[in-house]
Amino acid sequence: MKNLFFVVALFIGLNNSAFAEAQQLVQYADAPAHLSTDAKPEAPSLGDVRIRQGAFRTAVDGPVIGEYFAQSTVVSLNAAEKQVIMSEVIESVYLDGSIYKMDVIVLNDGKMLDQGHKHVGAIVGGTGKYAGARGSYEFEILKGGSYKITNTYWLGQ
């Protein structure tokens, strides 16, 4: 019986990352005007790039806790469905490290994202305190245009 307890304890100890709890970090981001490069023709076309950067906070009017850098690129157009597909890469920079995110966003009718839009993307890594982060984030555009981002991640997976 002692051996069974020892084996179970050893298994849990060696695999403690499998039992790690999810961590959550909610941030509210400013939504400054984006910078764009239009690959021509006008309107969404392959290769168009949008770049945004801004501060994020603990609450809509809370203190600044970091900044973000985001780049979205048009990677596909589906004329029959009137969809624009964009690839997005984001770095959220905090005092104690960064979280890296990736996503593919489908825009219906070629409309850019506006109030009420929500999507979920992947957390693919990090640095410092967030090294090895894996998980997902939910992005939402709030009334007034600011962003709410809920990061749910695990470390050491």
What CATH topology corresponds to 23-154?
AOC barrel-like (2.40.480)
CA distance 141 to 113: 8
**Mean pLDDT over each residue of the chain, to the nearest integer:** 84
Q: Hey, where are the domains in the chain?
A: 23-154
Strand bridging mode 49-57 / 35-37: antiparallel
CA distance 132 to 118: 25
More confident call, 120 vs 16: 120
Q: pLDDT digit string (tens) for 20-31?
A: 689 999 999 987
Q: What percent of the chain has pLDDT over 70?
A: 83
Structure tokens at 51: 């770049």
Q: What is the distance in angstroms between the CA of the first residue and the CA of the last residue of the chain?
A: 31
- pTM of the entire structure? 0.80
Q: Give the confidence band of 12 by pLDDT, cuts at 50, 70, 90.
A: low
Query: Which amino acid is residue 157, in one-letter code?
Result: Q
CA distance 146 to 16: 38
Instruction: List the single range of 13-22, 30-39, 99-108 with lowest mean pLDDT.
Output: 13-22
Which of 66, 73, 75, 72 is CA-nearest to residue 99? 66
Q: pLDDT digit string (tens) for 86-142?
A: 999 999 999 999 999 999 988 887 666 677 788 899 999 999 999 999 999 999 989
